[in-house]
Structure 1
Amino acid sequence: MIGFYNYTVILTYCSLISALIGTHFAFQHQYVLALLCLMLCGFFDSFDGMVARSKKNRTPEEKMFGIQIDSLVDLVSFGVFPAIIAYSMGFTKARCLPFFAIYVLGAVIRLAYFNVMEDMRQKKTNEKRKYYTGLPVTSSSIIFPAIYCLNAWFKIHTVQMIYFVGLGVVGILFISRIKVPKPDLRGVLVLIAVGAVLFIMLALTGTIRMGGHPFSWLYF
């Protein structure tokens, strides 16, 4: 079989599988479960780079494969999957297509640009990157679940519209010139803690949405 098979890509594949499972839930209109899968994608992505770097004897081919497979999976998990969730919410008219196009194209361009610039940077220096240019696509694993948590205060259709419009805004931020600090290990742990709180809020939002019956959103 072609490809490189070792533990360094396991978490990357877990992110892809989580997105595929979440897509199933999205088309079943189980949005809470779909968004929980999106958050899992973000969790796996937080550590896949650390796991890859732990293997000291990687060949140049293995390193390049890891970079490429990570970007391809990120496109599915954070570029296409959030758009699928919005589509399953009922935004299926032709007039909705520009928002989907802005978001997905923004993610594609962002990932391709990052790969090119990172490859050039690594040829010049071994220093760790301190900033990202443009909003990282992985941020969607926090942004869109946070939007949906507004369910606790607003009507469901209002939240879905905010989610949909958010696609266009986030898509533009992907390719903007804003500088976003790259989190170190402590920063990653803080983000995971925030994600854990958001995870609980999302679960509770699902309970509220289903009429207050504890964990009724799990019955699918």
Structure 2
Amino acid sequence: MLGFYDYTMLLTYMSLLSAGLGIFTSLSGHGHPYIGTFFLLFCGLCDAFDGKVARTKKDRTEEQCKFGIQIDSLSDLVAFGVLPACIGLSMLWKVSVFSSVPKMHTGNALDFIAPVLCFMVMMLYVLAAMIRLAYFNVQEEIRQKEEGGVRKYYQGLPVTSASLIFPLVMLLQFLTPKDLTLAYFGVMVIVGFLFLYKFKVKKPGLKGLLGLVLIGAIEFAIMIICKFVWNH
């Protein structure tokens, strides 16, 4: 069979499967953005540790290493590019006070302008995520040839950050009666820009990763309470 199937690839495969489930769930029926966000959080958890797990295997071939880099980026594009966009689309269906498709006959300008702008933002956000991931792959290949070892800094905002940023917006949506659909897309514009903006971000060590996981766990717990305990 083509590909590699040892334990070093498991978290990446799980992240992609979670992203796929999140996309299908978000867009099913009249939209389930809240549930889709749980899958996004799980994708972030998988991505936080896939690199560390992969590096525990000391006898990886060059082919395995390069394969791991490629599938990680492809998985990240779906998980942190496509899935957040689909959650946003689901919000247009489920939560938004304006139409999810452009309408000119309602007398409300938002019914035409808002959905058009939102669809443009979704497409440009996914494009920004793809460009960033492709650029990272190129730079990582060059870096490994020149210096090797583990990367200490990222250029631009890592796409994995989407797994903490968008759940926070969704959490605020369910804690306030106001419609935050446009705010969600506004955040998407900012995050997409930061994906491509050239600035240094220090790569978190183990303590930093655990701190980020803790933040995700807190978001997850509050969302569970809001949804199933308070039935918000």
TM-score normalised by structure 1 residue count: 0.89
Segments ≥4 residues shifted beyond 6 Å: none
CA–CA separation in structure 2 for the residues paired with 1:31 and 1:141: 14
The Cα shift of 1:153 comes to: 4.1
Q: Deviations over 1:68-94 (max 9, x none)?
A: 000000000001110011112225533
CA–CA separation in structure 2 for the residues paired with 1:169 and 1:33: 23
Task: Give the one of 213, 217, 220 matched to 1:192.
Answer: 213
Q: Residue 32 of structure 2 contacts residue 90 of structure 2 at CA under 8 Å; is this kept in 1? A: no
* Segment of structure 1 superposing worse, 127-136 or 90-99: 90-99
Is residue 165 of structure 1 aligned with residue 186 of structure 2? yes
TM alignment of 1:144-155, pairs within 5 A: 144-155=166-177
Q: Which residue pairs with 1:101 in the alignment?
A: 123
Counterpart of 1:181 in structure 2: which amino acid? K
Q: Which residue pairs with 2:25 in the alignment?
A: 25
Q: Which secondary structure state, in structure 2, belongs to the residue aligned with residue 180 of structure 1? A: strand
Structure 2 portions without partners, runs of 5+: 93-99, 102-114
**Which is greater in Rg?**
2
CA–CA separation in structure 1 for the residues paired with 2:19 and 2:88: 14
Q: Which residue pairs with 2:11 in the alignment?
A: 11
The Cα shift of 1:22 comes to: 1.1
Counterpart of 1:198 in structure 2: which amino acid? E
Please give the root-mean-square deviation of Cα atoms over the aligned residues, in Å: 1.7
The Cα shift of 1:31 comes to: 2.1
TM alignment of 1:1-220, pairs within 5 A: 1-28=1-28, 29-90=31-92, 91-92=100-101, 93-157=115-179, 159-207=180-228, 212-213=230-231
Q: How many residues align?
A: 210
Q: Which secondary structure state, in structure 2, belongs to the residue aligned with residue 89 of structure 1? A: helix
Percent identity for Structure 1 against Structure 2: 46
Q: Which secondary structure state, in structure 1, belongs to the residue aligned with residue 60 of structure 2? A: coil
TM-score normalised by structure 2 residue count: 0.85
